[in-house]
Each structure stands twice: as C-alpha cells, then as structure tokens.
Amino acid sequence: MPSDDHVFRLIRSMSPAEKRHFKLYTSRHLLAGHSKLHALFDAIGSMSRYDEVALRHRFAGDASMKRLPIAKRRLYEAVLESLDAFHAGSSVDDRLRRMLHQTEILFGKALYADASKLLRSARALAGTHQRPAMLLQAAEWERRIMERSNYAGISDAQLAERARRVAAVADEWKEADALWSLKGDSFRLLFHSGQNPGRRELERMRSLENHPLLANGAALHGAYARFLHHHVRSALAFARNDLHTCEDQLKCCARIVEGEGDRLSDSAALLLGVMGNLAHVRMRAGRHQEALDDFRKFRQLPLMMKQAPNPDLEMKLFVMGFSLELSVLSAQGEFAKAMARAEGLEAGLERHGRQVSTVRRAELMLQTAYACFGAGHPGQALRWCNRLLSEGGIEAFTEVHALGRMLNLAVLVELGRTDHLAYVVRNTRRQLQRKGQPFAMESLLLGHALDLVKDAGGKAKGDSWRLLHADLAAHFAKGPEAALLDQVDFLLWAQAGAEGRTMEELARERWQARLKGQRLPKPKQAA
C-alpha cells in the first residue's frame, strides 16, 4: 500500500469531534465487530505515515484481520457513514438531499400524500436558495407522484404549469453550466499562459469574450450565473493585463456574494477568493494602501464565519493567505521577513500535500525563492528554484515555469557559478529553440549571463549590469511582459547591480515613494 492510503487520509482528516462521534456511532449501529473496527481505526489514526507492514504485524494474531483489505474497506465505509450522520443538516444542499431521500422512502411505502407534502417543502427550499439541480430532481419525483394515480385530479393547466416551471429551471441550470464551461476555458488559459498569452491563446480569449453570456447586460437568471459572468470577465481582463476592468468585475462578484450568499453553494470560499484576488490586482495596479486594507480584511474573514473552516477551506486559506503575505512583504522590500515565512510554507505544503494544485504550489515556491533572492540569500533561493523546476507537470504552466528558469539563472549569476551557468545557458537556449520562446526577457537575461561567463569581473561587469538594466527598461516600456515584474522584479535586480546597492534598499525606497505619490528617482551608476 502507498503511504497516501485512502483510509489513512480519511482518518487523518477527521476532527477530534468527528472521531468521538465515530466511536459512538459504530458502538450503536455496528453491534457485532465494532471493537475490531475501533482497534483498526485507532491503529491507523495513530500513524504519522501509513505503514501497512507495521499494521499487519500489530494484528498478526487476530484471525479477523487476516484479510486486511476487506477490514479496511469496512472501516472506510463505516467512517463515511459516521461522517454523513455527524454532518446531517449542516448545509442547504444536505437538507435537500435528505428531504428528497425521505420523499423516496414515503413513496416506496405508498404514502403518496405525505411524499407530496414533503416534496413541496423541498421544492420551496430549493427555489429560495436557487438550487436548480435539486429542483430538477424534485421535478422527477413530482412526475412519479402524478403518474402513480394515472393523473387523477390533474388538470391541463397543472401539467402546463409544471412543464413551464421545469423548463425554466432546466434553462437556468444550462445557463450556469455553460458559464462554468466558459470559466474552465478561461482559467485554463490563464493558468497555462499567464499574462503573456501567445497568438493562439489571444484568439481563443477573444472568442470567449464574444460569447453572448459574457456580453454587457446579459439577462441571467440566478445568483450563481451572475457571479460566474463577472468572475470569467475578471479572469479574461487579468489575462490581457486590463487591471481596471478586472477590478470592476471582481467588485461585482463581491457584491453578489455579500448580497446573495444564501443562494450560492460554498459562498465563504467564493468570498475569500474574490477578496484575495482584489488585493492582488490592486497590488499590481500600484494602489498599495488599498491592497494592504484588502489583505487585512482577508485575514479577518475566517473569524467572521459562522462555522470553522473545513479542510478544503483551510487549504484555500493557506494558499491565498501565504501568497498575499509574500506579495505584500516583497513589494514593501521586506524580503527578510518574507523569507522568514519559508518554514511556515514548508509546514503548510507538508500538511496539505497534493490538495494544493501543481500551479499553486509552484507559485508559492517562486514567491519564496524571490524573497530569499531579494534578501541576499541566493543559496536558499536556489533550493526553492530547484524544487519549483522539479515539480511534476510544471512545464504545462508556461509563465510560472519560465519565471522559475529565469530566477534560477539570476541566482546562479549571484552565486558566481560560471561553469554551471554556462551549461544552463546552453541547455536553456537549446530548449527554447526546440519548443519556441514565449518571453523575450529570457533572451535578455541569457545574453547577460553569457557576458558574465566570458568576463570574470572588473569594470566590464559593471557595464554589463548597466546594459542589462537599460535593455530591460526599454523592453518593458514597449511590451506586454512588464506584468511579469509583479512576480519577480528582474528590473530591480539589474538596477541593484548597476548602482551597487541591495534590492531591499531599492524596493523600500520605491514602496515609500509610491505610498507618498512621489516620482521615483532615476537609477544611479555605481561609483
């Protein structure tokens, strides 16, 4: 069995209250054999890492444990049943599922009037909270209740009204599902190509933007559809670096969640995502005080929730919270403070494991590597760069992968590893020639690195820094790649080299100047 065994994962995810309930639940409902399940439950729950050899050794003398896979399957099913009972009625969706199941039970007992009465209550609850999928399931039971009496007492008007109502619900569901598909397409493009999409990606984005459901003033029928409408438009605007439009669309998302949260599944997670995105967008737009205010609001949101965050929400809080904190500290020039958070990041990645997607893990690693780099610790930065570039499947996410390569190159320059640097430059250029080059900035950095390899030091090296800074400044002034500097500021690095100063000094000066609305001083030459 692998170390991430499914029974082990489930038990480790349980809260102390859920574990206590499991013992009580199985004691009441599994009269025979519950003590064996408890022993197996405790044995697996006490492990810090799943070890099947140790488990078999522990129960070697127990005849009932000779077929361990069967015992584990029974345990897994019992834990799920216990969790289902523990969380009964914890959400609108759960209450609706139970009401529909109870309708099925009453129908099976031929208690049609009672089933019909309960079904009306379920339909009213689903309508109030805009749950079209549940309304369609209720419509199926409504149909079966009508059929069982051969339509006795059912008028033409009732049938027509039901048909109209069900068609409207089906249209609402299809509308939301179509918008979700648009979200999938747009976010997949954004995650894979970032804010510097190629020609093919730009054409696809334009095609998505022209969809009728994303048009200004599109007539949409539910809160979720309206949320998705603005959510998708915000993502497409962000992908083309239109931060003003992105922010406007995110504010629309926030108003919908705050005003119609009871009509949205998982509204807490939606609001966290919106507030986190708003902070990032305002940070990138240079409105730092607003971004800081958003960051503080984001940190307070979990305290305002009616219920404690579940593991899924805890994972999202970890990812968004760490990303925001590292962004704010790096923008302030507090690279050392950001670097100090690396231990917490390690613990979070270990705790949440592969619940965190590849691209989100890579983004956090990139931010941490940049913090170490800015703090003047290239050795630590190299370690994080190597982890990022070793992530399975990272090549599919063009932007974060390219930034990882570029930062790795800059780190090798700082470390003075000329032999390794020469190899990396040659290898990277071969790869780019074979696969195509998405970022012109990478060529500029590769050219600069080669100059450093040829020239071991002296005045020519200072000239190289000034030339790199001038070339990067000219490049970013006319191209769309300037958005990349919000993640890793290579222009700041080049300026630090040209002036003989640290990145921390320059970043702090820039932060203070932007807060005061001052113009930044022109870069100086090193003495």
pLDDT in tens, 89-147: 778 888 999 999 999 999 999 898 899 999 999 999 999 988 999 999 999 999 898 88
Any domain includes 503: no
Mean pLDDT of the chain: 85
Helices (H), 341-489: 342-352, 358-374, 378-390, 398-415, 418-435, 440-454, 459-478
Q: Say how far residue 142 (Cα) sits from the centre of its chain.
A: 39
Whether the predicted pLDDT of 194 surpasses 60? yes
Match 């921390």 to its residue by tokens: 504
| b/e map 304-336, b = 16+ CB within 10 Å | eeeeebeeebbbbbbbbbbbbbbbbbbbbbbbe
Any domain includes 516: no
| b/e map 11-46, b = 16+ CB within 10 Å | beebeeebeebbeebbeeebeeebebbbbbbeebee
The confidence score (pLDDT) of residue 88 equals 82
Whether residue 53 is found in the same domain as residue 182: no
Whether residue 58 is found in the same domain as residue 98: no
206-234 confidence digits (pLDDT tens): 899 999 999 998 989 889 999 999 999 99
Q: How many domains does the chain have?
A: 4
Least Cα distance to 481 among 214, 197, 234 occurs for 197
| b/e map 381-411, b = 16+ CB within 10 Å | bbbbbebbbebeebeebbbbbbbbbbbbbbb
Match 């983004």 to its residue by tokens: 363
Q: Which residues contact 174 (CB under 8 A, 6 or more apart)?
A: none
Rounded-to-integer distance, Cα 11 and Cα 47, Å = 10
Helix axis angle for 503-516 and 490-499, nearest 10°, is 110
Helices and strands (H, E) in the chain, number of each type: 25, 0
Whether the predicted pLDDT of 383 surpasses 90? yes
Whether residue 74 is found in the same domain as residue 115: no
Cβ contact 386:412 at 8 Å: no
Whether residue 305 is found in the same domain as residue 319: no
Q: Which of 11-15, 453-457, 487-491 has the least mean pLDDT?
A: 453-457
Report which of residues 164 and 190 the model is more confident about.
Answer: 164
What's the CA angle centered on 523, arms 521 and 527, to 5 degrees? Answer: 125
469-482 confidence digits (pLDDT tens): 899 998 888 777 88
Any domain includes 280: yes
Rounded-to-integer distance, Cα 212 and Cα 514, Å = 40
In this structure, is the dihedral angle defined by the CA atoms of residues 416, 417, 418 and 421, taken in order, positive or negative?
Answer: negative
Whether residue 372 is found in the same domain as residue 260: no
The confidence score (pLDDT) of residue 233 equals 95
Cβ contact 475:441 at 8 Å: yes
The confidence score (pLDDT) of residue 308 equals 65
Rounded-to-integer distance, Cα 93 and Cα 97, Å = 6
The confidence score (pLDDT) of residue 362 equals 93
Cβ contact 144:107 at 8 Å: yes
pLDDT band at 2 (very low <50, low <70, confident <90, very high): very low
The confidence score (pLDDT) of residue 456 equals 45
- Burial (0-12, 13-18, 19+ Cβ within 10 Å), 177: middle
Query: How much is the average pLDDT of 472-500?
Result: 86
For the record, the structure tokens of 202 come out as: 């730009």
Any domain includes 518: no
Cβ contact 492:474 at 8 Å: no
**For the domain that residue 241 is a member of, what is the CATH number?**
1.25.40
* Phi/psi at 341 (5° precision): -85, 0
The confidence score (pLDDT) of residue 505 equals 94
Least Cα distance to 142 among 170, 107, 167, 110 occurs for 107
For the record, the structure tokens of 500 come out as: 């003989």
pLDDT band at 454 (very low <50, low <70, confident <90, very high): low
Residues in the chain: 527
Q: What is the percentage of the chain residues whose pLDDT exceeds 70? A: 91
Whether residue 485 is found in the same domain as residue 337: yes
- Burial (0-12, 13-18, 19+ Cβ within 10 Å), 209: middle
Least Cα distance to 272 among 252, 253, 244, 285 occurs for 253
pLDDT band at 520 (very low <50, low <70, confident <90, very high): very low
Whether residue 70 is found in the same domain as residue 203: no
Query: How much is the average pLDDT of 279-298?
Result: 80
Whether the predicted pLDDT of 303 surpasses 80? no
Whether residue 357 is found in the same domain as residue 423: yes
Least Cα distance to 249 among 232, 274, 230 occurs for 230
Whether residue 76 is found in the same domain as residue 121: no
For the record, the structure tokens of 455 come out as: 């020239």
Q: What is the percentage of the chain residues whose pLDDT exceeds 90? A: 37
Report which of residues 142 and 452 the model is more confident about.
Answer: 142
Half-sphere exposure of 415 (CA within 13 A, CB side): 20
Among 86, 103, 129, residue at a domain's last position: 86
Whether residue 242 is found in the same domain as residue 263: yes
Whether residue 29 is found in the same domain as residue 123: no
Whether residue 268 is found in the same domain as residue 409: no
Any domain includes 164: no
Q: Which of 68-82, 240-254, 264-278, 389-403 has the least mean pLDDT?
A: 264-278
Rounded-to-integer distance, Cα 252 and Cα 268, Å = 16
Rounded-to-integer distance, Cα 199 and Cα 480, Å = 13
Any domain includes 272: yes
The confidence score (pLDDT) of residue 20 equals 92
pLDDT band at 290 (very low <50, low <70, confident <90, very high): confident
Any domain includes 325: yes
pLDDT band at 31 (very low <50, low <70, confident <90, very high): low
What's the CA angle centered on 442, arms 236 and 487, to 5 degrees? Answer: 50
Among 289, 309, 329, residue at a domain's last position: 309
246-266 confidence digits (pLDDT tens): 999 999 999 999 898 888 888
Any domain includes 442: yes
Range of the domain at 475: 314-464+471-489
pTM for the full predicted model: 0.76
pLDDT band at 424 (very low <50, low <70, confident <90, very high): confident
Match 């807490």 to its residue by tokens: 268
Rounded-to-integer distance, Cα 358 and Cα 364, Å = 10
